[in-house]
Amino acid sequence: MELWDIYDENRNLKPCTMVRGEPIKDGDYHLTVHICVFNSRAEMLIQKRQPFKDGFPGMWDVTVGGSAVHGDNGRQAAERELFEEVGIRHDFSGVQPHLTINTPHGFNDIFIIEKDVDADSLSLQYEEVERVMWATEEQILSMIEDGTFIPYIPEFIMLIFRMRGGYGSHKRG
């Protein structure tokens, strides 16, 4: 049984938890994370979800994503999910999310890191990930168009690629 912390609309932790899979009550919010790993060639490591996975089975997605469990902050959840799903260790201490997207029932912290790793040597979590590969922005946008990638708004993917290597909304010099 996986427990999730509950937050209010201002992202203040409430003194209660919920069990994964239960409906989220109105006024309650949950924390999720996505981590986008880029290599030095400006390619994103993407994963193909297992065909038996709930939610977008068999589709391609960004590197990893998941829910914060009871006691996790966004950095801890990112570190745990990245290692659990694809076997990459990364210290997120002192790292802020590049972006937080508000959802109807939560907050989704997006982390962007650069790390050259051999995709063929990663340890994939069987329950979650069928395979991984490196992909360019154009390849991912094409996969969204042809229905093989989770149907993110294309501009979201474009923004993630533009934010690589820096923080904030100003053009890097």
Q: Three-state DSSP class for 74? A: helix
pLDDT confidence of residue 166:
82
pLDDT confidence of residue 170:
73
Once rounded to an integer, what is the mean pLDDT over residues 125-136?
A: 98
Residue 157 burial (CB count, 10 A): 20
Which residue stretches of the chain are H helix? 74-86, 137-146, 154-163
Per-chain mean pLDDT for the chain: 94
Once rounded to an integer, what is the mean pLDDT over residues 137-160?
A: 97
Task: Give yes or no for a contact between 29 and 105, defined as CB atoms under 8 angstroms apart.
Answer: yes
Beta-bridge mates of residue 109: 33, 100
- Provide the terminal-to-terminal Cα distance of the chain, rounded to the nearest Å: 48
Once rounded to an integer, what is the mean pLDDT over residues 116-129?
A: 96
Is residue 71 predicted with pLDDT exceeding 90?
Answer: yes
pTM comes to 0.94
Is residue 173 predicted with pLDDT exceeding 70?
Answer: no
Is 3.10.129.10 the CATH classification of the domain at 31-163?
Answer: no
pLDDT confidence of residue 102:
94
